[in-house]
Structure 1
């Protein structure tokens, strides 16, 4: 009996030590030259990992504060995470069909009081609005996340939305993909020219000392964007690594935390999303593993499989349509932040639950952040 008790206590002790080691495991940014603000932000994310979840909201360039204001009106809170999109200009007769993703030249989606209209601001002006807002929000203690709906490289920043939303029957051929991801080809050079244009704005943020949760080419395991549905070593992984090397080594962008943002896997015919692992470029090129959850598809496996793939790295909800129920929220504690996609916060179910989720004991809003010395920490 005594021996059994001793073995039991040893097993408990080893379990506690193992858990403590897991909690203490923190990764440095994958970019070894990351500026101190980036290192500190990532360290902050690890300090709350599994304990708290940061709240967020996406805003569009054409109405840069609108959904901040909506969240405040619904919950009485200001989210910590502020998101926006470098986006594109929608061309063609069906421009307004793509209003939902916030093209730079269209009025903001979800604002039902404003008809879909073409704006007179240029791409440069709109992207500058995003950068100026991001700098301001950062100094208020917000954490900035940026993304990029990107036209096929031959079209630069101006395209019919169907050029981005290709769907499974119109995705690039393997020959086109190989040209895109091969240094020095015409298509590869056009893609780099697009990245040069985005780097201009990321460098402004770097000069202002603003760290960015950078999540380009999201939902790559789906079948809807041109960069989707290319699994394996010569697929999306190669594109991601090329982008990482170009922005990090050539453009010397050291203010980015690299957020690899998948879609939650699903088997919907014609709207599938493949397994996370088939598109993962590896831990040397990813700081945060994220998933987008739409259609209220809150499977526990979406959370657990991303945790397993990350091996201790931060995971997050890059975009959500429906907010999780409080039960789901409590059963999936490793999400380090969530961010509703702009106007989705106005969906009837979200309106009902928003106050409960944003005011949940595990949620961190801006009023809980101490940013007095330009570092992120929780108020005591």
Structure 2
């Protein structure tokens, strides 16, 4: 596989020039956290450089489990198929607010911490979302009782409880350190899919000002508590215009990466709407990214069970067009779902029908896995 060795600069401050014609000006790009750790600043600058080289491949819960296995040291369905780990690893900290030892998908937080450290040591990148419970009534994220978001704001009936929940996240985030005791940089994606209608923080459940207030309060709270290793990812679901994308946007000083989530549901051989809608949204988001001096990502996607054998090279790659995208993350490989009586996975596993196409996807110069970004150790 012929992949550009310049990509190997992701986790290093090196004397190697990674020349770029990025839409993002590296000289003017600055993180929203003005006290971000030096390592976090380095990662952000290198994300900008890498966006010119290609799109990093990511996978949710990749090291924790896969189809028909759990917690096997060093194992990964992606690695089983492609011979390489993803470049980006997704994790969710839903459950911390309840002081649960496991997240909402059953991953023990002790193991998650271990996986995040292992990923960082190899040169991979970690991103975290949070399916946080509804602070108004302690039900799950999908409870959309009216005024739930407002209850968490300063002066709201759930505000003090919400701060205690944030404290649990702060405690966990502050434990994410490398072997030298330095904080591991994390791409943090709070209140994801905010333009949907299925979470208590979505736009149907709050005004733009209420959402912006919650976002800003949360980021400021983390930073006041000493968390300075987060790169903040603004994440939407569907949107049809620039105005809709920006309606709930907290401002360029409070976000570092722009992104959206979109999944394939229809057969791409008979319905091209997934590709068309992705391209439409990337076109809109690309315009905003250029104006805001930001990078962008495809923060969640997938086609459950991947029933189309050429989905990787004939659908997903087309859906991303020629846009400069930092990373694309596929959802998790849960395996058999007893309640739904079906298989639930989004990346191929060994022997899967799309394995050959996935290897072809892996071999594209434009698609980056861990070996492409992590040849050099992290230095500062």
Residue 12 of structure 2 aligns with which residue?
none
Partner SS for 1:342 = coil
Where does 1:1-380 land on structure 2 (aligned, <5 Å)? Answer: 22=23, 24-25=25-26, 26-59=28-61, 63=70, 69-88=76-95, 104=103, 126-154=108-136, 159=139, 163-166=140-143, 171-174=144-147, 176-181=148-153, 183-206=154-177, 207-229=181-203, 230=205, 232-249=207-224, 251-265=225-239, 275-295=244-264, 297-298=274-275, 299=277, 300-310=279-289, 311=291, 312-322=293-303, 325=315, 328=318, 331-343=321-333, 344-346=346-348, 351=355, 353-370=357-374, 372-375=376-379
- Offset at residue 75 of structure 1 (A): 2.0
Give, in whole Å, the separation in 1 of the partners of 2:298 and 2:47: 13
**5+ residue gaps in structure 2?**
1-19, 266-273, 304-310, 334-345
What is the TM-score normalised by the length of structure 1?
0.73
RMSD: 3.2
Larger Rg: 1
Give, in whole Å, the separation in 2 of the partners of 1:105 and 1:177: 20
Contact 1:58 1:67 in 2 (8 A): no
Give, in whole Å, the separation in 1 of the partners of 2:73 and 2:262: 22
Residue 13 of structure 2 aligns with which residue?
none
- Offset at residue 39 of structure 1 (A): 0.4
Contact 1:135 1:208 in 2 (8 A): no
Contact 1:59 1:65 in 2 (8 A): no
Against the structure 1 CA distance between its residues 196 and 107, is the aligned structure 2 distance closer, same or farther, given a 3 Å change threshold?
closer
What is the TM-score normalised by the length of structure 2?
0.73
1:181-232 CA distance string (max 9 Å, x none): 1x24440111111111111110111554310001122111101111112464
Q: Which moved more, 1:77-86 or 1:66-75?
A: 66-75
Contact 1:264 1:293 in 2 (8 A): yes
Contact 1:357 1:363 in 2 (8 A): yes
1:130-181 CA distance string (max 9 Å, x none): 112101210111111111111112566xx5xxx3223xxxx2324x433321
Partner SS for 1:260 = strand
Give, in whole Å, the separation in 2 of the partners of 1:332 and 1:199: 38
1:250-292 CA distance string (max 9 Å, x none): x12100000112113379xxxxxx9322221111100111111
The number of residues matched between the two structures is: 312
Partner SS for 1:280 = coil
Give, in whole Å, the separation in 1 of the partners of 2:377 and 2:50: 19
User: Higher relative contact order at CA 8 Å, sep ≥6: structure 1 or structure 2?
Assistant: 2
Against the structure 1 CA distance between its residues 189 and 352, is the aligned structure 2 distance closer, same or farther, given a 3 Å change threshold?
farther
Against the structure 1 CA distance between its residues 40 and 316, is the aligned structure 2 distance closer, same or farther, given a 3 Å change threshold?
same
Partner SS for 1:235 = helix
Partner SS for 1:319 = strand
1:19-53 CA distance string (max 9 Å, x none): 96845455111111000110000000111224311
